[in-house]
Structure 1
Amino acid sequence: MKNLIVVESIDEWPRRLGDFEVVSDIDYFVDEGFQNIKNYRVFNLCRSYRYQSSGYYVSLLAAARGHKPIPSLSTIQEMKTKAFVKITSENLDDLVQKSLADIKSDNFELSIYFGKNMARKYDKLSNELYKYFAAPLIRAKFVKKNKWLLSSIGPISLKDVPHSHQTDLIGFAESYFKCGSQRKQLKSARYSLAILRNPKEQFPPSDDKAIQKFMKAAREMNMEVDIIGPDDLRRLAEYDALFIRETTNVNHHTFRFAQKAKALGLVVIDDPESILRCTNKVYLAELLKRHNIPTPKTFMIHKKNLDQILDKLPVPCVLKRPDSSFSQGVVKAETHQEIREKVSTMLDDSDLIIAQEFMPTPFDWRIGIVDNKPLYACKYYMARNHWQIYHTDKAGELDYGHSETFPLEEISPKLRMLAVKTASVVGDGLYGLDIKEKDGRFYIIEVNDNPSIDAGVEDRIIKNQLYEEIMRVFIKRLDRKTKGYTE
């Protein structure tokens, strides 16, 4: 994508830089060149973003033209929303208190230029605020009562930047664009895609080879693609789409990435609704029950009902912490006394626990679904001498059973139909349905919003087509969104 800075007067910008173009708001409004070319990233430096001002219309028209406005309309609205400012202050509370501890007065203003401040000691706070409010020039105001609080945040006009700051402003901008230009770009890319990964994750949902295959498929479909990490929330505004390839959870940065991406208008997989529905087993159990999806017998336990339902619980049974994943937080209880002991421990961390009938099978089916269409079918076998697919030994080493992959046309139509029906209840994202087969019947065990896709496993049958099918979903949704803007 080309970088474009829009200002109300060309004279306001100190000097032209080599990596982007600077134009006036009027030229951006009326020049047909900007109307007809889609691959622009538009940095809106107008003096005001108030409703129906030039700044407002720059971001509005950028979105309508399929450009990437920074700030987006959602960010403009968030800067005006006291509740969002308050939430941001709460989320960054520790950093705010630490950063401003030496300030003697009860008021403080922090000017942020392309995510940085003139004083390096405020760089981390500036960067974090930019993640929440991605706009080129902003000013955050803090007040101290019992502690420091973010009271407001809003755009800065170029005219409000002191002359003594202009050299640094240029440097911050050059650094910002230099980082952005380091990605391998396609000359005529239609869209840009960010893939979120965490290099420190112990059990990532995709291995390195699979990630490379995703990137290759994206580029072959004329998409720029970039790998981003947990610290890159501020960069989301630069992209058209986000693909999360990191294990998700609601109380986690992956959920914030999904929420922010949706607010910015990005096409995102996994979307925040899917993360919410899949990662909490209490929510998922109620959702499946409401839609009459067959599951093993399932019970909800809390401190007040444990005594009443203890004798009704099947033994052995499986106890699940609501946010468990990769078999972590899932235990088996062989007796009612063992249920009581294990539930009591688990209730220290969560007010609700799921108890589920134990259904021993040598394997679980895993059906991959994207956009409510079957993608792959695998059998995941249980780990050696264990009742789960994954087993972590006392030394912390992960053991897991082998797998088989099958052509979709060879699996039972009932299995395929149950997977599609269940996925449609959750949403239209990328899901892995864990299903047990017993006595010719099928039962949903889990719906995973961020399923494992590793090279040589899930792609064993359809090879590179698996990665291409997922990228086609992004293209289809981006085309639909772009068409909606222009109609």
Structure 2
Amino acid sequence: MNGLVVVDQRGDWPVQTPGIQVATAWEYLTDEAFTRARRTRVYNLCRSFSYQSTGYYVSLLAGARGHTALPEVTTIQDLKLADGPRIINDEVDELIERSLAPLGSERYTLYVYFSRSMAKRHERLARALFNLFPAPLLQVSFVYRGESWRVEGIDAIPLGEVPETHHEFLFEAAHDYFQRKRPHRPKRESARYDLAILVNDDEQEPPSNARALKLFERAAEDLGFEVEFLDKGDYGHVAEFDALFIRETTAVNHHTYRFSRRAAREGLVVVDDPVSILRAANKVFLAQLMTRHRIPQPGTMVIHRGNVSHVARELGFPCVLKQPDSQFSRGVIKVETEAELKRQTRELLERSDLIIAQRFEPTEYDWRVGVLNGEPLYACRYYMAKDHWQVVRRDAKGTKHEGIHETVDIADAPPLVVSIAVQAARAVGTGLYGVDLKQFGKVVKVIEVNDNPNIDFGVEDLVLRDSLYRKVMEYFISRLEARTRS
């Protein structure tokens, strides 16, 4: 994308940055060249964002022209709402407390310039606030009440309200921000779209290993994408892309959901989309969904404090208890006795008012069928870990032990397994899912549907190899081209 700084008067922005053009607001609003421009990132630094002012119209019309604005008009409006500070999440609350703890006063104002703060100790807090409210210039007011700091107000401030003593730092922060996106490689002229892949280099069990990520990148570039890998600190850059592919383990109360939600709101093609995360992340929802669509599953109960005593009669022992948002076999517990049931349900119900109990139906392996856009993509058998009833076993030290895996051609997988997997995935949505199933002869039952399935080099790709990665990227291309045609 081309970068464009928009100001009221050219003298408002006296610095030059390679690849960044400067224009006045009036030029941007009235010059046909800007109306026709494509793939433009607009940094709106006008002196006022009041309703229907030129600054307001710069961000508003940027959206109409298909340009990416910072701040977007929705961010400007969100910040004007009286309850804006209420959306501060727990993670940022903790940062606020740590960052402001040394202060002796009861009030503090933090200036955030292109995600940075002049005070080094507030750098992490500044970046987090910028990620929540992506605007180039922010002013955040804090007040100390009781025994904690609270956000009193957040405003996107115009350039004219930046203290003159801050200008040098502001220009430096802007320069760094402009240059940080793909600074070491020129944009390929053949690129038609921008794809962001969200990853977490520190994640112990990511949904795709490093080799798989490279193959996704190569497949995307072959199809005309410019690819950039993002981490959780890049929330403010989401709107700069055409598509977002989340390859970090998703959760609802988590930055992955916030990335997905914002990308969907900005019109990006998103995998995993926020609706899929909400649905697949909760096993109570999935159990009810499978029941409604008459998709077979093991005997299942939704457990609450009033019906724990019914479990033995309905399901028998042993049975399996599941925390609604359990992942990677964590939060999934096999109970053998009534006493164990009471103890475990008491602990699980402390975290969620509803949990799942299922009849224990052991098998040598579980099927995993990958489904993309309602069509089967790959099929694997995941065998149980040695001397264990799950695919993954963790010892007392937390070390993970896995059973072997076997990837088969979709054409060679049992047709009923594939058919029921596709039905289950389609009940959730049209994205990318991994459906886990158990097979007992001619009987097939769905265990769960995962919105963020593993696609690892050397496992799920053993049959399709490079074409697996290409098929996923073709989905993004087809969705983007369908939007262009419409």
- State the TM-score, normalizing by the size of structure 1: 0.92
Aligned to 1:263: 265
Aligned to 1:394: 396
For residue 102 of structure 1, report the CA deviation from its aligned partner.
5.1
What is the CA RMSD across the aligned residues, in angstroms?
2.2
Query: How far, CA to CA, are the matches of 1:89 and 1:435 in structure 2?
Result: 36
Query: How far, CA to CA, are the matches of 2:251 and 2:143 in structure 1?
Result: 33
Query: How far, CA to CA, are the matches of 1:380 and 1:197 in structure 2?
Result: 24
Question: Which amino acid is the alignment partner of residue 269 of structure 1?
Answer: V
Q: Deviations over 1:10-57 (max 9, x none)?
A: 221122222311112233234344333422222121233344332333
SS at match of 2:382: strand
Report % sequence identity.
45
Cα distance change of structure 1 residues 479 and 68 upon mapping to structure 2, 3 Å threshold: farther
Cα distance change of structure 1 residues 7 and 483 upon mapping to structure 2, 3 Å threshold: farther
Aligned to 2:346: 344
Given that 1:38 and 1:190 are in contact with CA atoms closer than 8 Å, whether structure 2 keeps it comes out as no
Query: How far, CA to CA, are the matches of 1:24 and 1:96 in structure 2?
Result: 36
Aligned to 1:381: 383
The counterpart of 1:421, out of the listed 420, 423, 426, is 423
The counterpart of 2:335, out of the listed 333, 336, 342, is 333
Query: How far, CA to CA, are the matches of 2:344 and 2:274 in structure 1?
Result: 31
Query: How far, CA to CA, are the matches of 1:98 and 1:199 in structure 2?
Result: 25
SS at match of 2:436: strand
Aligned to 1:117: 117
Query: How far, CA to CA, are the matches of 2:323 and 2:51 in structure 1?
Result: 46
Aligned to 1:475: 477
Aligned to 1:45: 45
Q: Deviations over 1:228-269 (max 9, x none)?
A: 223332332333322111111222222222223233333221
Aligned to 1:438: 440
Q: Deviations over 1:58-91 (max 9, x none)?
A: 2233233332221223322321233342121765
Given that 1:193 and 1:240 are in contact with CA atoms closer than 8 Å, whether structure 2 keeps it comes out as yes
Query: How far, CA to CA, are the matches of 2:2 and 2:283 in structure 1?
Result: 44
Question: Which amino acid is the alignment partner of residue 130 of structure 2?
Answer: Y
Cα distance change of structure 1 residues 415 and 174 upon mapping to structure 2, 3 Å threshold: same
For residue 449 of structure 1, report the CA deviation from its aligned partner.
0.6
Cα distance change of structure 1 residues 272 and 365 upon mapping to structure 2, 3 Å threshold: same
Cα distance change of structure 1 residues 360 and 98 upon mapping to structure 2, 3 Å threshold: closer
SS at match of 2:301: strand
Q: Deviations over 1:320-356 (max 9, x none)?
A: 1111111111122233343333323333433322110
Query: How far, CA to CA, are the matches of 1:80 and 1:384 in structure 2?
Result: 58
Query: How far, CA to CA, are the matches of 2:249 and 2:443 in structure 1?
Result: 30
Question: Which amino acid is the alignment partner of residue 118 of structure 2?
Answer: M
Query: How far, CA to CA, are the matches of 2:90 and 2:342 in structure 1?
Result: 37
Aligned to 2:406: 404
1:361 maps to 2:341? no
Cα distance change of structure 1 residues 69 and 102 upon mapping to structure 2, 3 Å threshold: same
Cα distance change of structure 1 residues 401 and 455 upon mapping to structure 2, 3 Å threshold: same
Given that 1:140 and 1:154 are in contact with CA atoms closer than 8 Å, whether structure 2 keeps it comes out as yes
Query: How far, CA to CA, are the matches of 1:60 and 1:481 in structure 2?
Result: 21
Aligned to 1:128: 128
Question: Which amino acid is the alignment partner of residue 314 of structure 1?
Answer: G
Aligned to 1:154: 155
Given that 1:296 and 1:357 are in contact with CA atoms closer than 8 Å, whether structure 2 keeps it comes out as yes
Aligned to 1:163: 164
Query: How far, CA to CA, are the matches of 1:148 and 1:482 in structure 2?
Result: 47
Query: How far, CA to CA, are the matches of 2:352 and 2:430 in structure 1?
Result: 29
Given that 2:188 and 2:226 are in contact with CA atoms closer than 8 Å, whether structure 1 keeps it comes out as no
For residue 369 of structure 1, report the CA deviation from its aligned partner.
1.0
Q: Deviations over 1:285-332 (max 9, x none)?
A: 122222222111101222222124433222221111111111111122
Given that 2:114 and 2:173 are in contact with CA atoms closer than 8 Å, whether structure 1 keeps it comes out as yes
Q: Which moved more, 1:333-342 or 1:238-247?
A: 333-342
Query: How far, CA to CA, are the matches of 1:465 and 1:278 in structure 2?
Result: 26
Query: How far, CA to CA, are the matches of 2:470 and 2:56 in structure 1?
Result: 37
SS at match of 2:332: strand
Query: How far, CA to CA, are the matches of 1:66 and 1:480 in structure 2?
Result: 16
Q: Which moved more, 1:225-234 or 1:48-57?
A: 48-57
User: What pairs up with 1:96-245 in 2 under 5 angstroms?
Assistant: 96-101=96-101, 103=103, 106-146=106-146, 147-182=148-183, 184-188=185-189, 189-245=191-247
Aligned to 1:61: 61
- State the TM-score, normalizing by the size of structure 2: 0.93
Query: How far, CA to CA, are the matches of 1:45 and 1:375 in structure 2?
Result: 46
User: What pairs up with 1:231-310 in 2 under 5 angstroms?
Assistant: 231-310=233-312
Q: Which moved more, 1:261-270 or 1:364-373?
A: 261-270
Given that 2:49 and 2:158 are in contact with CA atoms closer than 8 Å, whether structure 1 keeps it comes out as no
Given that 1:78 and 1:85 are in contact with CA atoms closer than 8 Å, whether structure 2 keeps it comes out as no
For residue 408 of structure 1, report the CA deviation from its aligned partner.
2.0
Given that 1:86 and 1:151 are in contact with CA atoms closer than 8 Å, whether structure 2 keeps it comes out as no
For residue 130 of structure 1, report the CA deviation from its aligned partner.
0.5
SS at match of 2:346: helix
Question: Which amino acid is the alignment partner of residue 192 of structure 2?
Answer: R
Given that 1:205 and 1:247 are in contact with CA atoms closer than 8 Å, whether structure 2 keeps it comes out as yes
Query: How far, CA to CA, are the matches of 1:6 and 1:239 in structure 2?
Result: 20
Query: How far, CA to CA, are the matches of 2:32 and 2:195 in structure 1?
Result: 26
SS at match of 1:322: coil
SS at match of 1:204: coil
SS at match of 1:130: helix
Structure 1: state its 5+ residue gaps. Answer: none
Q: Deviations over 1:92-145 (max 9, x none)?
A: 323323433455555433222111223333322221111111111122223344
Query: How far, CA to CA, are the matches of 1:190 and 1:48 in structure 2?
Result: 34
Q: Which moved more, 1:459-468 or 1:143-152?
A: 143-152
Structure 2: state its 5+ residue gaps. Answer: none
Q: Deviations over 1:425-481 (max 9, x none)?
A: 111111000111113121110101110101122112222111112112222333344
Query: How far, CA to CA, are the matches of 2:110 and 2:339 in structure 1?
Result: 58
Given that 1:365 and 1:378 are in contact with CA atoms closer than 8 Å, whether structure 2 keeps it comes out as yes
